[in-house]
Structure formats: C-alpha cells, structure tokens
Chain A
Amino acid sequence: MTAVTATAGGIDRARVARWLQEYGVYVAVAALLLFNVFFTANFLTLGNFRTQLVQAAPVCIVALGMALVIGTEGVDLSVGAVMALAASLIPLYLGAGPVPAIAIALVVGLAAGTFNGFLVAHVGIQPIVATLALLVGGRGLALVIANGQLVQLHDKTFLELGTGDLAGIPISVWIAGLLSVVMALLVGRTTFGRRLVAIGGNRTASALAGLPVKAVLVGVYAICGLLAAVAGVLATARLSASDPADIGMLMELSAITAVVVGGTALTGGRVRILGTVFGVILMQLVRATLIKHNLPDSTAQMVQAAIIVVAVYVARERSTR
C-alpha cells in the first residue's frame, strides 16, 4: 500500500520534472517578467520592450545557427569571429552601396561556415577544435582587413537596418523573428532538417541509411556562418560603426548558453527553435534586470552563473533509474 502511494508520488514528481524540462524556459521568462513588473522602475513601457528585443536580435540570430550546429552534436566557437569578419568588410564595400556591401559580408560568413563544415565533415576534426582555429584567427584577420580601426559609417540606407522600423517594430527584430520562423520550418518540415536531427542522434546509422551526412554537416555549419554574418551586419548597423575589435566578443558563449538554457542538449539529436528564442530572451532579461538594479559586475556575473546552472539543471535530460 505504502509502496503504491510512493509510486504515485514518484510519477507525479517525474511528471512535474518532465513538464519543467519541456516548458521551464518559458516559465522562467514569465517569472522574470513578473519580477520586473513589480520591482523594476519603468519596466512596463513600450520603449523598454523595444530595447530588450533590439538588443536580443543579433544574439538570437546567432543562437539559431548555433542551435542547428548543436543539434548535430557539434558546436561553433567561431561565430563571434565571423561577426567581426562581416563587420570589417562592410566599410570596404559600402561605397558601392549597401546591397553589395551586405552581400559580400554574407558571402564571407557563408564561406567561413562552409570552411568549418568542411573541416568537421570531410577532414573529421572535432567541432570544438575546428572552429577554435577560426575563433583565434578570424578576429585577427578582421582586424588586418580593417587595419585595426573602427570605422564610422554614414550610409543612411545601411544604418536604417539598425535604427529603422517597419510597422512599429524594429527591422532587426523583424529579421530575427522571420529567421526564427524559417529555421523552425527548416528543422521541422524539410528533408534537410530531419536529416540534421537524425545525424545528431546517430551519425553511423544515418550514414548507413544513405543520408548525405557530410553534405548536411557542411550545410549546417554554412548556415551558422551565414547567420553569424547576418548578426554581424545588423550589429554593425545598430552601432553605426564597423568595430571588428569588439563586435561579437564572447558571442559564442552567449549563443551556446541561450541554446542550452532553451532546452537543446549539447548531446545533439534535438533542436528546439522556440526554446532557443526564449533562451535568448531569458538571458537578455537577466542582463537587463541586473543592469537596471545597478548591481556591480561581480554580483552580476555570479548571479548569471547561478541562473545558467538552475535553468540547465531543470531542462536537463533525465535518466530513469
């Protein structure tokens, strides 16, 4: 009898845990929003939400690509460097107009991603190491291209990307939202997406099932590079300057954190796009809350550490014993 009740209790707890694992990040975002509504001055203003979304947009775009890579059991440490590369190219070609400049930045991002993918898929190097090389060298290259200089940008059309609105919503937020939808469809509905997840789940089996493993991997890293370049372009437009020395600094860690906090495990085989978006929003709100309450850097870093641990603890894959 006691045994039975114990079982029932156990199942209930398991169910709660499962539910939290699935929806934890949404709960956390909601909780943090509530906290801010009550304890943060001037939180409930349109301008504030706008700020949070605008700041989150580039991270979100990078995190989308990162989520795909993590889904294949990989990781891409070079995203920040790719952002810097993209940024360094903008001023060189802005003279020819914003479209060619952006196009070149994106092509280079795509190429950098493809290179990573090639190293991972064809040469067979561990993703961390393969992308570490570009993390170390990429920013240096960007600085070489830019001559180490920050360049102020004045092209109105280009800057519009960073400051402009469309139907009352900032353009960068539109782009991030649109890309999120595209990625969700890509993962959920396309051959490519399903293959990606299968490869992350069991690479040997996928290869034996005739899936084009290498091509898919290259594709995934290429998309990640491309998205990093998009983020680089948007961040540059928002800053109204090309700043290869600092743009995207530590972006890889922010993006990975967001993806993992959003419930995508680093072990691959699963991609949660909505979770990732909320992971980004959660971390953005955490940062905003810490700044708005004027906490010193030391406390802020320790609080962030604690939040990451708790969020990931809740979202972790459980083993049944």
Chain B
Amino acid sequence: MTAVITDPPDTAAATRRELMTGVLQRQGAAIALVIVVAVAWFSFPRFGSLDNLRDLALQSSFLAVIALGMTFVIITGGIDLSVGSLYALGGVLAAYGSQYGFLVALALPLAVCGLIGFVNGVLVARTKMAPFIVTLASLLFARGLLLAITDEGSNTYRVPADSAFIELGRGTIGGFGYPVFIALVLCVIGAVVLRRTRFGQSVFATGGAEQSALLMGLPVARTKITVYTMSGVLSGLAGALTAAYLQSGVTVIGVGTELDAISVVVIGGTLLTGGAGTVLGTVIGVGLRNVIQNIINQIGTLDSNYQSVVSGAFLLLVVVLQRSLARTKPGR
C-alpha cells in the first residue's frame, strides 16, 4: 500500500526543531541551576565545601519527597494544597508513634496521610470537585487534626533518644544523610514509574486529555486516586523523616510548603495544565530553590524582608525564561 500520510521533509525538520526547543525548555531550569551553582561556587568559597553540600542535599531531600508526589498530581492536571499540612501531621504522628517502636513510627504517618490523600483522590475523581478546593479543605482538616492530637499544639511529642527511628533521620553514608538517599531512590523509582509503566502512561493521558483517556478505556479515576494517595503518603514520609531528623514532632513546620512544592515542580518544567512533566525536572527545581536560598545565606547581609522579594523575583525570572524558550517553538 502506498503511503497516504507522510511528513513532508521540511516538517520533519520542524519536528526536530520542536523537540529541540522542548528539550531546551525542560533544560531551562537545569541551565539556570548550572549557572547559579557556578556563580555561587566562584563567588562564595564556602559554597562548595563538603559540609555545605551535604547540608544542601539533606535540606533538599524533604522537599524533594513532597515534590515528587506533587509532580504526579500536577501531571494528571490536578494540584495538591494539602501537602504542607500532611507533612507536619506526618511528623507529629511519627514522633508519637516512635514510642511504640520503629515500625509504628513509620507506618502511622504513612497510613494516616495516605488515607487523607486517598480521600482527596476519591473526592476529586468521583465527584468532579476541583482539586484546588478539595485539597484546600484537607489542608485545613489535617492542620486541625494535628492540633487535636497535640492538645491544641501545646504538646510536642519527642522521639525517644534510644529509638532506632532517629537513625533514619540522622544516619549518614559518606557524610550524606539517609534522607538524601531515600529521596534519591524514591525519585528514581518515581521516574521509572512515570516513564516506563502503564500507570505512568495513564497519568500522562489523564492530564493530557481526560475525556479521551476515559474513552480509550484507561482507569482515569483509579489513576487520580492513586496519585493523590501517593502524594499523601510521600508527604507523610517526608514528615516522618523530618521528625526523625529533628527528633521531635514539631507542629509549626509545613506552613506554605505546598506553594514551595508547586513552584519547584513548575520550575522543573512540568505543565500546570497537566499532561507533561518529568521527575528529573522536579529534582532540578528543588535544587535550584535551595541553592538560591543557600546563596542568600552566603551573602548574609540581605535584610530578611528583602529575602522574599528576591525569592519572588527569582521564581518569576525562571518561569519567564522558560516561557520565552517555549515561545521559540514555531507558530502558536
């Protein structure tokens, strides 16, 4: 049979160009990261010190775990505002559970936060309520629950000093904390799941064209429920790791973390409209955010009120940069 549809040669070239700009856009954050790191490396002698890098990696690991879940949610075209509260709740539950041993300390936050994530997912998938509002409600709910558990926040659970659980947060390999490796492993698994499994494909399809995915017989509802549950579990895990690291279930953490997570995911090139995104991008986004923070610290003299101005301006800069890279795409 003769070919009915062929890409004309010059269209093939256009496709290549599109792919290139796509790569550029996705790498926009990576390029920014390289530049920022290079500048920091040469301007601040302490930046490149092993201690600083270790700390940077450790601080990034908690956010990376949360942002990993957020990446999946955003690719399905959703959003999860509850991660900050779940992060704090997870920490408190882990500290509470640690009196009953390592397993409880780990299982309790994962189970409870996972359950709240699951409810988010069910509400989003089955009732067609906007994810924004559903997860906004669970942001409130999880905070309320946290306060209820801690006697209106007056009671901070501490991880017993002899608990094996502490090791999870404080143990190191080559000076790098366990959370760093846990986050790395999770991100690698996340990337494989996203790119190389049917579930990953239905995550993309759900976000790219939900109606089509449904008509193509993909388990759209199940996919959504799964990603929100995942996001809950991962936030809970990040909380548990933090509790192990801080040796206590601190109640005041996680305020505004959802916005951090969303912005690093977006900086990493994941489309807020859904349908496209990568785990690697998110990891880069986390790195970028924390390196900038680190630089602000290295400068040291910046008035605290200016710090947020700088952060805001920087977020804007990266997003605009990315957008203009995407613009070079012919047409549209």
A298→B323 contact, CB < 8 A: no
Which residues of chain A have C-beta atoms less than 8 A from B306's C-beta?
140, 144
Which residues of chain B have C-beta atoms less than 8 A from A126's C-beta?
266, 272-273
Cα distance A136–B145 in the bound complex, in angstroms = 27
Q: Check: B138 CB closer than 8 A to any chain A CB.
A: yes
Query: Residue of A at shortest CB range from B82?
Result: A305
Cα distance A188–B175 in the bound complex, in angstroms = 64
Identify which of B54-62, B199-207, B234-242, B309-317 touches chain A: B309-317
A253→B148 contact, CB < 8 A: no
Which residues of chain B have C-beta atoms less than 8 A from A119's C-beta?
316, 320
Which residues of chain B have C-beta atoms less than 8 A from A62's C-beta?
none
A298-B152 in contact given A125-B323, A133-B313 (Cβ < 8 Å)? yes
Identify which of B25-33, B103-111, B127-135 touches chain A: B127-135
Which residues A264-321 have CB closer than 8 A to chain B?
Answer: 265-267, 296-306, 308-309, 312-313, 316-319
- Known contacts A132-B262, A304-B140; can you find 6 more A-B pairs with CB under 8 A? A123-B320, A124-B323, A129-B272, A266-B130, A303-B144, A305-B144
B141→A129 contact, CB < 8 A: no
Which residues of chain A have C-beta atoms less than 8 A from B143's C-beta?
301
Choose from B127, B129, B138, B152 the contact partner of A305 (Cβ within 8 Å): B138
Q: Check: B191 CB closer than 8 A to any chain A CB.
A: no
Q: Check: A184 CB closer than 8 A to any chain B CB.
A: no
Choose from B132, B141, B324 the contact partner of A266 (Cβ within 8 Å): B132
A297→B273 contact, CB < 8 A: no
A137→B312 contact, CB < 8 A: yes
Which residues B273-332 have CB closer than 8 A to chain A?
Answer: 273, 303-313, 315-316, 319-320, 323-324, 327
Interface residues of B (CB under 8 A from A): 79, 123, 127-130, 132-134, 136-141, 143-148, 152-153, 259, 262-263, 266, 272-273, 303-313, 315-316, 319-320, 323-324, 327
B140 CB to closest chain A CB, in angstroms? 4
B148→A298 contact, CB < 8 A: yes
B308→A139 contact, CB < 8 A: yes
Choose from A125, A137, A140, A256 the contact partner of B133 (Cβ within 8 Å): A256
Q: Check: A143 CB closer than 8 A to any chain B CB.
A: yes
B305→A309 contact, CB < 8 A: no
Q: Check: A153 CB closer than 8 A to any chain B CB.
A: no
Dominant SS among interface residues on chain B? helix
What are some 8 contacts across the A-B interface (CB < 8 A)? Answer: A126-B266, A129-B262, A136-B259, A137-B315, A148-B304, A257-B136, A300-B144, A317-B128
Query: Residue of A at shortest CB range from B146?
Result: A298
Cα distance A143–B316 in the bound complex, in angstroms = 19
Query: Number of contacting residues on A, CB 8 A?
Result: 48
Which residues of chain B have C-beta atoms less than 8 A from A308's C-beta?
133, 136-137, 140
Cα distance A129–B312 in the bound complex, in angstroms = 10
Query: Residue of A at shortest CB range from B79?
Result: A128
Q: Check: A130 CB closer than 8 A to any chain B CB.
A: yes
Query: Residue of B at shortest CB range from A267?
Result: B130
A130-B319 in contact given A298-B144, A316-B127 (Cβ < 8 Å)? yes
Which residues of chain B have C-beta atoms less than 8 A from A317's C-beta?
128
Which residues of chain A have C-beta atoms less than 8 A from B263's C-beta?
129, 132, 136
A138→B312 contact, CB < 8 A: yes
B323→A309 contact, CB < 8 A: no
Which residues of chain B have C-beta atoms less than 8 A from A313's C-beta?
123, 127, 129
A141→B309 contact, CB < 8 A: yes
B312→A133 contact, CB < 8 A: yes
Q: Which of A139, A305, A313 has the most CB of B within 10 A?
A: A305
Choose from A129, A144, A256, A316 the contact partner of B129 (Cβ within 8 Å): A316
Q: Which of B144, B148, B153 has the most CB of A within 10 A?
A: B144
Query: Residue of B at shortest CB range from A137?
Result: B312
Which residues of chain A have C-beta atoms less than 8 A from B304's C-beta?
148
Query: Residue of A at shortest CB range from B127?
Result: A313
A268 CB to closest chain B CB, in angstroms? 11
Q: Check: A82 CB closer than 8 A to any chain B CB.
A: no
A137→B311 contact, CB < 8 A: yes
Q: Check: A237 CB closer than 8 A to any chain B CB.
A: no
Query: Residue of A at shortest CB range from B140?
Result: A305
